[in-house]
Amino acid sequence: MQTVVSQTSPPKKSFLYDPKVRGIFYQVLLVVIVSYLFYVAATNAIENLQRAKIASGFGFLDNTAGFDISQALIQFSAAGSSYGDAFIVGLLNTLIVSAIGIFFTTILGFLIGIARLSKNWMVAKVAMVYVETLRNIPLLVQLLFWYIAVLGPLPQPRNSIEMGAGFFVNSRGLFMARPIYAADAWAIPAALVIGLIGTFLYRRWASARQAATGQQSPVGLVTLGLVVGLPILTWIVLAIVGANPISFELPRKGTFNLTGGMQILPEFVALLLGLVTYTAAFIAEVVRAGILAVSKGQTEAAGSLGLKPAQTLRLVVIPQAMRVIVPPLTSQYLNLTKNSSLAVAIGYPDLVQVFMGTVLNQTGQAIEVVVITMAVYLTISLVTSALMNIYNRRVAIVER
């Protein structure tokens, strides 16, 4: 017995109804329009640049800068440095304010996020008011507030406010002790690195041992000893054997000015304060959402297994909350880095202020400068989001 399959071909249609043909048509149309726009823009730009007698190409990066930058982490002088050096100075300034900002805003943000979930009514409400206020006011207004209204009225250097432990505050910024490194000071960071590696190995060994035998090891104590103890021990040993590896030069109060020590620009302080307090409000919400995302059943199950509240938090709630927290947390870190470009409003020499401001104005090479600056931010974002994708794949819940 055979089933006869009817072999009638479908009715013939115009190829114009073929979705593939239409798809190709739309895409070709898009490519043509976009290329045309680019072509027009490029020809206009070339013509305009020639008329304005502005050079093009990246040769300007080697030209002498001819301006000073108030905060430079590398050697920089108006006469001896090029625009390329100015770019690096600006980039480093952006990175350092972002890195320090991320460190402090994480601490503050987690504290406030946990405070918002506190059973203490008062603490929860104060945290809520903080978050709602800071989130709903533009960062620019907050930066101007910190820079002009708070740091502006600080006294002249001769009337510096002494805060103890070698800290002084005046209208030129924050002054503090400057570390002076001896020749063998490298041993201390080396000890720290060894401590970190040791901790990592010890933790792996400890968790393998616990998995195999069920016995726990004093991980916390060993970590503390390796990470904090080892560098301090190195320091003490070096100080006993030879000269003190790190000594501090304290700022001294003269008649008119402070001498010595390390100066931190008021612009830096204002930018840091603004970024940290603003971003912390967002991080607090991320943390709160992450903790709330762990279902109550998890806490109850942990309790019925006999875990103590602290253990429940550390072993059950936080690892699961982190899965929810980390992706939006990274995007907040990126936001902080991008927002550090508001430095231009208060004159902190970050990448945008130095490169898109001064260098752009001096050279007039708008296209090159804008392209370089955007490429920097774009690289930072893309690298971070690539890392984030890897992380997400690693922590993703593996379903059956």
- Asked if residue 121 binds another protein (CB under 8 A), the reply is yes
Q: What single letter denotes the amino acid at residue 325? A: I
**Binding mask 164-203 vs another protein (x if CB under 8 A, - otherwise)?**
----------------------------------------
Which helix (H) or strand (E) segment holds residue 175: the answer is strand 173-176
Which helix (H) or strand (E) segment holds residue 161: the answer is strand 161-164
SS3 at position 144:
helix
Judged by CB under 8 A, the residue of 3, 6, 8, 51 near another protein is 51
Q: Which stretch binds another protein (CB under 8 A): 14-22, 101-109, 176-184, 306-314?
A: 14-22
Q: Contact at 8 Å (CB) between 167 and 174?
A: yes
Q: Which stretch binds another protein (CB under 8 A): 245-253, 255-263, 374-382, 386-394?
A: 374-382
Judged by CB under 8 A, the residue of 344, 362, 388, 391 near another protein is 344
Separation between Cα atoms, residue 320 and residue 322, nearest integer Å: 5
Alpha-helical runs (H) found in the chain: 19-52, 83-116, 121-135, 139-144, 187-213, 219-224, 230-241, 266-293, 296-304, 309-311, 318-339, 343-346, 351, 360-363, 366-395
Judged by CB under 8 A, the residue of 95, 377, 388, 395 near another protein is 377
Question: Beta strand 161-164 with 167-170: parallel, antiparallel or unpaired?
Answer: antiparallel
Closest distance of CB 60 from another protein, Å: 15
Mention every residue, 6+ apart, whose C-beta is less than 8 A from residue 97.
Answer: 268, 271, 272, 275, 340, 343, 348, 350
Q: Contact at 8 Å (CB) between 386 and 110?
A: no
The number of residues that bind another protein (CB under 8 A) is 59
Closest distance of CB 166 from another protein, Å: 26
Judged by CB under 8 A, the residue of 53, 119, 296, 394 near another protein is 119
Site for another protein in 269-328 (CB under 8 A): none
Closest distance of CB 150 from another protein, Å: 9
Closest distance of CB 172 from another protein, Å: 19
- Asked if residue 151 binds another protein (CB under 8 A), the reply is no
Judged by CB under 8 A, the residue of 44, 77, 210, 389 near another protein is 44
Sheet holding 161-164, edge to edge: 161-164, 167-170, 173-176, 262-264
- Asked if residue 15 binds another protein (CB under 8 A), the reply is no
Residue 145 vs 391, nearer CB to another protein: 145
- Asked if residue 47 binds another protein (CB under 8 A), the reply is yes
Residue 119 vs 400, nearer CB to another protein: 119
Residue 303 vs 347, nearer CB to another protein: 347
The residues pairing with 258 across neighbouring beta strands, listed in sequence order, are 253
Judged by CB under 8 A, the residue of 80, 138, 179, 319 near another protein is 138
| Alpha-carbon distance values, 305 to 297, 314, 319, 388 (Å) | 12, 14, 17, 33
- Asked if residue 342 binds another protein (CB under 8 A), the reply is yes
End-to-end CA distance of the chain: 43
Question: Beta strand 252-253 with 161-164: parallel, antiparallel or unpaired?
Answer: unpaired
Judged by CB under 8 A, the residue of 71, 93, 199, 373 near another protein is 373
Kindly state the tokens that stand for 308. Answer: 């103590």
SS3 at position 349:
coil
Judged by CB under 8 A, the residue of 378, 386, 387, 390 near another protein is 378
Secondary structure, 3-state, 294-307: CCHHHHHHHHHCCC
Q: What number of residues does the chain have?
A: 400
Judged by CB under 8 A, the residue of 136, 213, 215, 255 near another protein is 136
Kindly state the tokens that stand for 221. Answer: 């104590």
Closest distance of CB 213 from another protein, Å: 35
- Asked if residue 144 binds another protein (CB under 8 A), the reply is yes
Contacts with another protein by CB under 8 A lie at 14, 16-17, 23, 26-27, 30-31, 34, 40-41, 44-45, 47-49, 51, 118-123, 126, 132-133, 135-142, 144-145, 148-149, 152-153, 338-339, 341-342, 344-345, 352, 356, 360, 366-367, 370, 373-374, 377-378, 380-382
